[in-house]
Amino acid sequence: MTIIEGIAERIGAIHYDGLPPEAVRWAKAAILDTVGVTLAGAAEPCAQIAAGVLGLGQAGGDCLIFGSHRRATALDAALVNGTAAHALDFDDVSNSLGGHPSAPILPALFALGEVVDCTGRDFITAYVAGFETETRIGRGVHFHHYEKGWHPTATLGVFGAAAASCHLLGLDRTKTAQALAIAASLASGIKANFGTMTKPLHVGHTARNGLFAALLARDGFTANSAALEHKQGFLLVFNGAGTFDAEIMLRDWGQPYDIVRPGLGVKQHPCCGSTHPAIDALLLLRAAHEIAPERVARIDSWTHPRRLAHTDRPDPQSGLDAKFSVQYCLARALMHGRIRLEHFEGEAFRDPAARALMQHIHAAPHPEMGEGSGEHLGAEVRIIFEDGKTLAERVGAALGRGPDNPLPEDALAGKFADCASRALPSAQVERLQRLLVQLDEAASLRAITAAMVAPE
């Protein structure tokens, strides 16, 4: 049995009645959060340009384009909604995946779910199957895969999107294996494009490709089920010899499910997750002390070198670029006490006060958070004032990063309302939120998407 065949067998064994309550709870939280950030991201230029190039203003179809009243084919909807889901870099994260687990899966599932009009329980189960697939493969290839320069949200997320789509279609082991093997050839995404529109496009492309792979396999399209371990397959081509552990990908599926432990990370700040620990450390200092930015002589931000590699950006040149600048994010956190979506809109990244404060912020690798450290999600911030006074704070992980440090339920609800209200009237936002909270009771996914249709 090949690795892919083993994965396909495990995907088929996942049933709603066998899911622990915690897996269902976290799945519903992830779905709520992803719908919210997708609605907020729908108006972003990257999603609008993608929709325009595809001609979605004229095309028809069965599947809703989030944040609008337009519909498109399933594949086009998956691409545009997937791009919107990651447009703000506000979507959830996973330690095992090394990226964003839900954005590659859910746009594909919503498009397919509208076509087949599945129940909420079937939708949740397919999502968990996709989450488990991409994160288990992630466990086997990290962190070499991440550090080599691949964008795991895309290169691994395509397997999650394919697995979830296969599960919702009810494909057998053979066809599911074919879909995953097709997905191996559709995997792509490089970190060089972080901070540009192409990063969210990775996710739209991934959602579409995962769904595409499943539909092809359903109709008899073929691929090599040894596409992972083949001498010219995914593992050796994307990672290289000695840099992956294939056996761990199949070990202990659902014991527990990855969405339960190590779990899902829900973002409280609309910027790169690698900046969040430093932001949280600074906000803790700000809450405990009166800090006048004009009295600050220097701020040191120390994070794991893996996180610093793409967040040490002292001179961001766009709003998207600023989402990956720990200097900019810390400046905004100190100035305002929170990071807001509008801090990355238009020319906000050029704000003179923020730019002036950034000159005092210095980022470096933490001396105690090396490659062998267990604190690869932590950070430390030190503030030195003009009079020589010093304050410092260290966090092991950002708030919301996993079940041991969850984002409070009221904060999750507030985030959803804030995001969704960018596309929908407040009364509609409240109704949609109720429907998503009760997703496991829904008889028709179309009833859910109908509540997302924006006014004309």
What are the structural domains, with CATH classification, of the chain?
Answer: 3-268+407-450 (1.10.4100.10), 273-395 (3.30.1330.120)
Say which residues have a Cβ less than 8 Å from residue 247's Cβ, sequence separation at least 6.
140
pLDDT of residue 23: 98
C-alpha to C-alpha distance for 273 and 278, rounded to whole angstroms = 10
Q: What is the structure's pLDDT at 378?
A: 85
Tokens linked to 67: 């944040």
* pLDDT score for 401: 84
What pLDDT, on the 0 to 100 scale, is given for residue 407?
87
Q: What is the pLDDT of residue 453?
A: 96
Dihedral sign for Cα atoms in the order 314, 385, 395, 41? negative
pTM above 0.75, yes or no: yes
Radius of gyration of the chain (CA): 21
| pLDDT value of position 244 | 97
Helix residue spans in 219-339 (DSSP H): 234, 276-288, 305-308, 319-322, 326-336
Q: Which residue ranges in the chain fall short of pLDDT 50? A: none
- Those residues whose C-beta lies under 8 Å from the C-beta of residue 455, and which sit 6 or more positions away, are 69, 424, 425
Which pLDDT value is given to residue 308?
Answer: 85
